[in-house]
C-alpha cells in the first residue's frame, strides 16, 4: 500500500539546516498495523505528516496505492487525503464549536456525500465507537477518552484505506488509553491499515511491527506478529 524509498526532509532556519528525515525507506502492506517509535526529534511526526500527505518531502520517492505522490500539488493531495486517509491526533483536534455528530459529519461533507446518506453513516460509526449517546454534545463536554473515540469515528467514517495515528493515547490516562488501543486493534482486525506514532512501548506492542527511528533514520524493525 505504501512504499517509501530514500525519503528526505530538511528544516532550514537562517543559519542551520536540520535533517528531519535522512533517506528513510520502508514499506507498509495493506492490513498491517505498524508502530513507529523513537525519542523526541527523531522525525516520527514528520514522517507521519508526509505519509498523510499533510507535508511534502524534499527528496526520495513515496508510492501510495501504486501512485508516485511525492510531487503532487496540494489539490491532488487533498483529494487523496479525503478519500483514502483517516487521521487520529494526540490532541484529538475536534472543532469545539461543532457537536460530536457534526464533527464526524464534516469528513463526509468534504467528500461530497449527500445529506441523507451522511446521517446513516455518521450514526453507524458513532454506534460502532459506542459514543452514540453523546452525539449532540460538544467536545468540551466529553472526557478525553470520549473525545478520542469521536476523533477515531471521524477518521473512520469515510472508510479510509489507511489510518494514521499520532500518539493517540498521549493525552489519555492508561485505562482510557488501553481502550483506544483496543479499538485500533479491532479496526485493524477488521481490515484497516494503521500506522501509529507512539512513545509508549506498551502501545507499540499492539501493532504487528515496530519501526524504531533516531535522528531521521530507521534504526531497527521488529516484526511482532504476522497479520
Partner 1 sequence: MIKNYFKLTWRNIKANKVLSFLNILGLTSGLFCFLLIYLWISSENNVNKYHENNDTLYSAYLTTTDGAEYGYGTPSLLYKELKEKIPEIEGVTAMSNNNRNYTFSNNKKVLKQNGKYVSEDYFNMFSFNILEGNASTALRNPNDIAISKDMAELFFDNVKSAIGQTLTFENSKALKITMVFELGSKNTTEKSDFYLSFDSLLAENSWMSDWKNFGTYTFVQLTKGADVKQVEQKLKLFLKDYVGAFAIELQPYGDSYLYADLENGSGKIEYVRLFGIIAFLIMLIASINFMNLASAGSMKRAKEIGVRKVLGAGKNSLVVQFLGEAILLSLSSLFFALIFIALALPIFNQITDKNIDLANLPLSTWVMVLFITLFTGILSGSYPAFLLSSFKVTDIFKKKIETSSITKLIRKALVVFQFTISVVFISCMFIISKQIDYVQNKDIGFERESLLAVTLSEDLQKNYNAFKTGALQISGVRSVTKTSHILLGEYGTSPEVIWNGKSDEDGSLFTGMVGSADFIKTYGAKLHMGRDLIHNNPDNIEYLINESAMKQMNMENPVGQTISFWGNSGTIVGVVKDFHFSSLKESIFPLVIRSEGYAEFSTAFIKYNSDNVQQTLASLETLHTTLNPAFPFEYKFMDSEYNKLYKSESTFYKLSTFFSILAILISCLGLFGLVMFTAEQRTKEIGMRKVVGASVFAITALITKDFIKLILLGIVIGVPIAWYFMNKWLANYEYRIDMPWWAFVNTTALIIGIALVTVSFESIKIALVNPVKSLKSE
Angle at alpha carbon of residue 183, lines to 175 and 202, rounded to 5°: 50
Q: Which stretch binds partner 1 (CB under 8 A): 26-34, 47-55, 173-181, 190-198?
A: 47-55
Beta bridge partners of 213: 218
Does the protein bind partner 1 through residue 83 (CB under 8 A)? yes
Q: Which stretch binds partner 1 (CB under 8 A): 33-41, 93-101, 122-130, 184-192?
A: 93-101
Q: Is 122 within 8 Å of 105 (Cβ atoms)?
A: yes
Strand runs labelled E in 46-92: 59-64, 67-68, 85-89
Does the protein bind partner 1 through residue 78 (CB under 8 A)? yes
Q: What are phi and psi of 117, to 5 degrees?
A: -70, -35
Does the protein bind partner 1 through residue 82 (CB under 8 A)? yes
Q: Which is nearer to partner 1, 140 or 225 (CB)?
A: 140
CA dihedral 97, 99, 100, 105 (to 10 degrees): -90
Q: Which of 110, 136, 191, 223 binds partner 1 (CB under 8 A)?
A: 110
In the complex, what is the shortest distance from the CB of residue 34 to partner 1, in angstroms, rounded to a whole number? Answer: 20
Q: Which is nearer to partner 1, 165 or 210 (CB)?
A: 165
Does the protein bind partner 1 through residue 62 (CB under 8 A)? no
Amino acid at each position: 500500500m505504501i512504499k517509501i524509498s530514500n525519503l528526505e526532509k530538511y528544516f532550514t532556519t537562517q543559519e542551520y539546516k536540520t535533517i528531519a528525515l535522512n533517506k528513510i525507506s520502508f514499506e507498509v502492506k495493506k492490513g498491517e498495523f505498524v508502530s513507529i517509535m523513537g525519542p523526541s526529534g527523531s522525525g516520527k511526526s514528520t514522517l507521519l505528516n508526509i505519509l498523510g500527505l499533510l507535508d511534502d518531502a524534499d527528496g526520495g520517492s513515496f508510492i501510495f496505492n501504486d501512485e508516485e505522490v511525492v510531487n503532487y500539488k496540494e489539490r491532488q493531495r487533498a483529494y487523496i487525503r479525503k478519500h483514502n486517509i483517516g487521521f487520529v491526533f494526540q490532541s484529538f483536534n475536534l472543532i469545539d464549536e461543532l457537536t460530536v455528530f457534526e464533527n464526524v459529519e464534516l469528513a463526509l461533507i468534504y467528500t461530497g456525500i449527500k445529506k441523507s446518506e451522511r446521517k446513516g453513516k455518521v450514526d453507524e460509526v458513532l454506534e460502532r465507537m459506542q459514543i452514540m449517546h453523546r452525539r449532540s454534545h460538544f467536545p468540551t463536554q466529553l472526557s478525553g477518552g470520549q473525545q478520542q473515540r469521536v476523533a477515531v469515528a471521524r477518521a473512520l467514517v469515510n472508510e479510509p484505506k489507511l489510518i494514521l495515528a499520532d500518539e493517540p493515547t498521549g493525552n489519555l490516562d492508561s485505562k482510557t488509553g488501553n481502550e483506544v488501543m483496543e479499538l485500533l486493534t479491532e479496526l485493524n482486525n477488521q481490515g484497516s491499515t494503521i500506522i501509529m506514532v507512539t512513545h509508549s512501548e506498551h502501545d507499540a506492542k499492539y501493532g504487528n511491527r515496530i519501526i524504531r527511528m533516531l535522528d531521521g533514520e530507521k534504526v531497527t524493525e521488529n516484526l511482532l506478529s504476522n497479520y
